[in-house]
Amino acid sequence: MGHTGATRSQVFQRSERGPTLCDDSYPADRAGRDGHRRRRQRPDQRRPRLRGCQLHRPVWKAQYFANSTFSGTPKSTACDSVIAENYGHGDPPGVTLPKDNFSVRWSLTRDFGSGGPFRLSAATQDGMRVYVDGVRKIDLWKNVSTTARKTVDLTVPAGKHTLRVDYVAWTGTANAGFTYTPRTEAAVDTVKPLAPTGLTAAYNRDTSKTTLRWAANKEMDLAGYRVYRRLSTTQWAKVSGSSLLTSPSFVDATPATGQTFLYEVRAVDKAGRESAGSLDATAVTVDRTGPAAPTGLTVAVGDAWWATLAWQGAADAAKYEVYAASAATGPFTLLGTTTTTSYRTGAPANTVQYYRVRALDALGNPSAYAAVTSDGVDRMPPKSPTSLGSVVGVGYTDVYWKQPDSFYEDFDNGGTYRVYRSPGKTLDPAALTRVTCAEGSDTTSAGGKCQDLDMPAGTYVTYAVAAVDPGGNESALSAPLVVRTGDRVAPGPVGGVKATPRADGVLVSWAPSTEDDIERYVVRNGTRQADGTVKWLGTASCAEGTSDPLAVICGDLPDGETYLYAVVARDRWGNELSPSDPKVTVVEATELDLRPSVTVVRDWNLGSLANGTVIGGPDLDGPSVSWRCDRTAVCDTVAGYRVSRWNAATKAYEPLHAGLLPAETRGYTDTTAARGATYFYTLEAVRADGSVAGTYVWSCVFQDRV
């Protein structure tokens, strides 16, 4: 190696760097700043402690050898914060080494955090080799007369790794420089930092602040930290401001809402990449925050000068305070509290009043005030009347209703009702007529009745009622009431009238009337007189069932008589055509003649009897007869009774039971009889010798009513 003309010892006097022995009392981070001064210390003034090389931050452990092969025991061991040595032509100060052919080995083990792209840069005269975890990355192992340089880019995995730099000064000028630096270009560094660890949160209830602390990240390219906060149901929000935190602690003014907040910390590298969040830390806050102010506050004056305030509630509100004042600047007087979202208070009529409402939570924390002003003018219409009904007669219609809620105060102070009518079955606002209620109509605090004498007759009208307060505010109309008004016109004639003889009478049927006020149908039967006129007998001989409202069964015993039948419609007002009216359809029918061909003499005189002639009720089991036996002398000879029924096929009366009914029997029901037929019976009181003490003959029409 060539010389510059100066001796190596002379060059050394101009050197800026030299070895630094480790001393716990002299922090390693000062070694780089004060290395020149420390290298001038005498060896006997230093107290080497090798473990001090890793006390504060990663520093190099430097081992000095008096040979170029790193063999034997190092002549000295020291700590260096950087490798930037200019030995010139002399050996390192404070170490007894030869001026040529000496070596230095620097080693460092550190945590690289998440790792990432790094650049290794070496500048040396003479030889230098650089190893990462024992793997050689730079090889400048040559005796040179000028400084040799080499740069290597590589990726360092996450975690701890060991760097080792071997340096040899063979001859001539000696200098050594090495750096390892992270590459922070965003296009190159794609590795996020590791999430911070050890996060703790200490909440101060007096100041409502949370102090957060965490362990510093190990990455060399760390730019800083961000702190995030959220509730368990919300998203993370950054609370550490726009600038990165450069120290592992932060004090947050946590909202004093009584809720539990979660915190996490994220590390950010110089490429701008943000780590995942740390494990969460929690802070349970005190509640010094009131609810949100009520919104949508309104005031309405009505109901006999009552003011009703209403608002939309706040989520955390336990109750509300309502205040009032006669001036905008107050003083405001507390009117009261409520747990609902409305409040009713007395208010002077036509007078300006100022109101404000605030919410309080369960701990008494108040919200801001919501305010509203009222001019005291009643613009609130009352509620609508309810439950409309009617009583309709010929020439009048009574409409009645119930008072709406809370109208009694308005009514007592001059409130009233208005009744409206429009033609047809729907309420037509464009065709409303105000009804003039007749004398005798009545309105009270409970409701009212209006008698309408001016409505059109025989048609449909629709009524509605409104309530009117003392201020003239009219409610919305009530639900409509459709009414068919009365008249004195009989319904028209009924069509499709038929009379059909049957075994249980004559079935009279007809078509329905097309008119809309029919209450019922009336069926009349009559007989034609010698002069050709008809004598109408009435309605007693006709009966209807439940299955067909357009048919009835008429007549009693089907014995072949001829009758005339007429059907008229009666409306709800009692109007109906006379059966003699020429417009009424009259039909003629002759009954069936079902009488037995055998004549039986009736000679019963033992006591009274009772039987049904025409029956048809749904709860009857069949034709029945009951009797008494009051003539003791004759009754004592009776051994039993026999009930027989005419059989038209055999032309005979046939017993309905085996043997005789017991002598004490006093009634019998033919449960084998079928509806829709006429039956003929004999009842015989029979002596022990078989002779008959008395015979009773009767018939029964067992109708199948429709």
Distance CA 595, CA 677 (A): 12
**H-helix or E-strand spanning residue 8:** helix 8-13
Same domain, 368 and 514: no
Same domain, 520 and 475: no
Q: Work out the number of other CB atoms within 10 angstroms of the CB of residue 334.
A: 9
pLDDT at 47: 34
Alpha helices by DSSP H, 35-111: 35-39
pTM: 0.51
Same domain, 124 and 207: no
CATH at 141: 2.60.120.260
Same domain, 567 and 533: yes
- Please check whether residue 492 lies inside any domain of the structure: no
Extract the tokens encoding 293.
Answer: 């102010």
pLDDT at 304: 61
Same domain, 26 and 174: yes
- Please check whether residue 2 lies inside any domain of the structure: no
Contacts (Cβ under 8 Å, ≥6 apart) of 207? none
Can you spell out the DSSP letters for 639-689?
EEEEEEEEETTTTEEEESSSSPEETT--EEE-TT--SSEEEEEEEEEEETT
Q: Where are the beta strands (DSSP E) in 45-196?
A: 60-65, 76-80, 83-88, 102-111, 116-125, 127-132, 135-140, 148-156, 160-169, 174-182
Same domain, 170 and 216: no
Same domain, 12 and 157: yes
Q: What is the DSSP letter of 37?
A: H
Same domain, 545 and 433: no
Same domain, 74 and 176: yes
Among 184, 192, 199, smallest CA distance to 114 is for: 192
- Please check whether residue 379 lies inside any domain of the structure: no
Within the chain, which residues score under 50 in pLDDT? 1-51
- Please check whether residue 290 lies inside any domain of the structure: no
What's the number of domains the chain is made of? 6
- Please check whether residue 258 lies inside any domain of the structure: yes
- Please check whether residue 228 lies inside any domain of the structure: yes
Same domain, 396 and 367: no
Same domain, 641 and 697: yes
Same domain, 515 and 576: yes
Question: What residues make up the domain containing 639?
Answer: 609-702
CATH at 353: 2.60.40.10
pLDDT at 20: 42
Q: What is the DSSP letter of 366?
A: B
- Planar angle of CA 154, 159, 164, nearest 5 degrees: 60
Extract the tokens encoding 46.
Answer: 């230093």
- Please check whether residue 561 lies inside any domain of the structure: yes
- Please check whether residue 353 lies inside any domain of the structure: yes
